[in-house]
Amino acid sequence: MELKLFKGTGPGVIFFIILLLGLLWTNSFIEHQSPVQSIYETQPMPLYGIIKFLLGTSVWPGLLFSFLLLSIMLVLVVNFNTTVFFISERTFLPAILYLLFSAFFPQYQVLTPVLPAALLLVMALMRIMDAYRKPGIAFNFFDASILISIGSLFYANLIWFGLLAFVGIALLRTINIREIFLCLFGLTAPYILIAGLYYVLGRDLGVLYSDIMNNLFGNNPDYSFTRLTIIVLIYSGFLTLISIGFLIGQMNSKKIKSRKTFYLLLWGFFISIALYLFLPSVSVEIVWVIAIPTSYFLAHYFIFVRKKIIVKMLFSVFLVLVLLLQAVFIFG
């Protein structure tokens, strides 16, 4: 597999992304799968509940909505690097890798609250990094906090990523108590607004509180991993570990802004892992979030590692495994 094609930004790689997007989502449109009955489906957070109501009970509108959000997500993933330029090369490779990671669990290629939440998280990361060397009080952290909080009204567990706003302050600024309070206000303001709307409309605030608590701390159904899925996860975990190791080894040679961006992404990666390991409400749907930093780590590794033959082989195996996973799901 010619990895050089996928590193660039030419029409060839754009065509490949469109082709790959079609291959990985065709079965979802053919089979019309229903969403997995997780807590966030049976007791949806307020904004996700509105989306479900507007799209109705038919599977098609939800699929189209998620497909559109994923397409926007791929653009944002590329744009984040283009804007901050932390990988130090203009490339569509992070989008390809994000698309591959998002296809690990075909059952979750349906309407899901995690995708709009992940999209808002990327926007929050962009706002945080835009505060780099900004004089005076940076309202970027308030913007980032409010984006994360709004995202948590789709997928409750995104609220834990509010920690990234405070990490951003520590990485980019001299600690300022007003910016910390702005972060706290940004995280709480959407919930205050929602509670106010519930009160004005005569809705039961106890139900809202119960839904939030269950989405944060309730038990989601266990996911049944197939042998092939386990193999794909082990292989992707191996790639992720070596890419993080390679990144850490290269960190001192990078520009300050690039270094701080990668540190922020590492925090996002470890928060995702911790949530999956320690919160029973978090299941494999977190892949939509953890794929964000992981895509950048792997893209950095594939672009800058010197042993190109090995890298081509690693990427090719990864691509084939994901396509095989989809094929087994369709025909198995």
Model confidence pLDDT, tens digit, residues 153-212: 999 999 999 999 999 999 998 888 999 999 999 999 999 999 999 999 999 999 999 999
The answer, yes or no, to whether residue 29 has pLDDT greater than 70, is: yes
pLDDT of residue 291: 98
CA distance 123 to 107: 26
pLDDT of residue 47: 97
pLDDT of residue 322: 95
pLDDT of residue 77: 97
> DSSP string of 158-192?
GGGGGHHHHHHHHHHS---HHHHHHHHHHHHHHHH
SS3 225: coil
Summary mean pLDDT of the chain = 92
Dihedral pair phi/psi, residue 99, rounded to 5°: -60, -40
pLDDT of residue 3: 66
pLDDT band at residue 270 using 50, 70 and 90 as cut-offs: very high
pLDDT band at residue 108 using 50, 70 and 90 as cut-offs: confident
Greater confidence (277 vs 134) lies with 277
> DSSP string of 116-135?
HHHHHHHHHHHHHHTTTT--
Q: How many CB atoms lie within 10 A of CB 220?
A: 20
The answer, yes or no, to whether residue 298 has pLDDT greater than 90, is: yes
Q: How many CB atoms lie within 10 A of CB 320?
A: 11
Kindly state the helix (H) or strand (E) to which residue 262 belongs, with its residue range. helix 256-278
Orientation of helix 308-331 relative to helix 287-304, angle to 10°:
150
